[in-house]
Amino acid sequence: MPELTDPTRSTNPAFKRSVFVGISASAAALIGPAAALAADEGLGKPHPPLVAEDDPAIEVGTPQLDYTPAAGTLRKLDAYYAAPKNAGASTPGIVVVMHIWGVDAQVRDTVRRLAKAGYRTIAPNLYSGLGAPSGDNTSNIDPFRGPYGKLADDVVDDDLQHGVAYLQKLGSRKIGITGFCMGGAITLRQAVEFPQSYNAAAIWYGKVRYGTTGNNGAITPIALSYADELRTPLLGSWGERDTGILGDDVRALDHRLGELHKPHDLKVYAEAGHGFFDDTRDSYVASAATDGWTRTLAWFARYLH
C-alpha cells in the first residue's frame, strides 16, 4: 500500500483555509448545488449532501461485489453505487477509490455527484471485513490506522477490478477511475497496471514518488519510472501547501509525461494543501476544489464519451 499520509497534519500550518473559501459566480455556476454552500462557508465541515440520496435524477444502491480469489476464501465486498435514472447502454462508468476514512459521507456524496453528472459510479469499500469504523463526521485518523495497515495491494486491486466488472455488466463500455489521498495513489497504480480497464483516470493529491525514502532531495528517475508504462490518460490535482506530497514531485512527473507525449493534465494549486476537495473537513479549499472538479468532469467528458 502507499505510505499513509495523515490528512490532518500534512498541510503547512501557516495556511488559513478561511482565506480561500470564496468562489466566483462563474465558478459557482459550474458546480451547481455546491455553490450556495460554498458562498456562505457551509462547506469545510459536516453538512447536508450536495446531491441527496432521494434526488429524483439518480438511483442509489449498496451492491455486494462478493467474489472468490483464485486462491483463497470468499471475499465479501461492500460497495456504494449511484447512477442516472435514465442510464442506458451508452452510459459510461466511474470507479471511485476511497480515502483513509473509507466510503464516508463525503465519498458517497461524490459518487452521487458523478451520477448526477451522467455516470454510473461505484465506490468499493476496501475496508470490507477489516472492522473499520464509520468515517462520517470525524477527522480523527487514529481509528483507521489499524484497518489501513491490513490492506493488501493484491486484494485492493481485485476489489477495484470487481468494481469495473460490475459497471461493465450493467453495460458501461468506457470506464474512468478517480481517488483521493491514499485512493489517489491507488488510482495511479490502477491506471498503470490495468490500462485495459480504464479510459481515463483522475488523481486527487495522491502520492507520485515511488521507490525512495521520504521526501528529502530531488525526486530520482527511478521514482517516476512507472510513467513509461502509463497508457491511461491522466489528470491530477494537488496542493502546493501539501507537506506530504511535494509540488516539485508533481512537476517532475508532469515533465516526464510531457517528454513521453502521454495524455495528461496535472495541476498544483498554490492556495491548497492536502485534502482540499474534502468539503466535510477543514482541509477544504473552495477555489481549488471547484476548479479541480470542473477539470475532472471535463476530462471524463473528453475520454468517456
- Can you tell me which residue has the cell 455553490? 35
Task: Report CA Rg, the chain.
Answer: 18
Query: Is 249 considered catalytic here?
Result: no
d(CA 223, CA 227): 9
d(CA 85, CA 232): 29
- The H-or-E segment that residue 247 falls in is helix 247-259
Q: With beta carbons less than 8 A apart as the criterion, state whether 180 and 104 touch.
A: no
Query: Is 6 considered catalytic here?
Result: no
- State the amino acid at position 110 in one-letter form: T
- Among candidate residues 55, 78, 158, 242, the one labeled active-site is 242
| Burial class, 39, CB count within 10 angstroms (exposed 0-12 / middle 13-18 / buried 19+) | middle
CA distances from 19 to 158, 271, 274 (A): 42, 9, 16
- Among candidate residues 109, 181, 264, 291, the one labeled active-site is 181
- Among candidate residues 274, 278, 279, 291, the one labeled active-site is 274
Query: Is 279 considered catalytic here?
Result: no
d(CA 193, CA 178): 15
d(CA 4, CA 248): 20
Q: Strand 120-124 and strand 93-97: pairing?
A: parallel
d(CA 55, CA 83): 11
- Can you tell me which residue has the cell 465486498? 77
Catalytic residues: 181, 242, 274
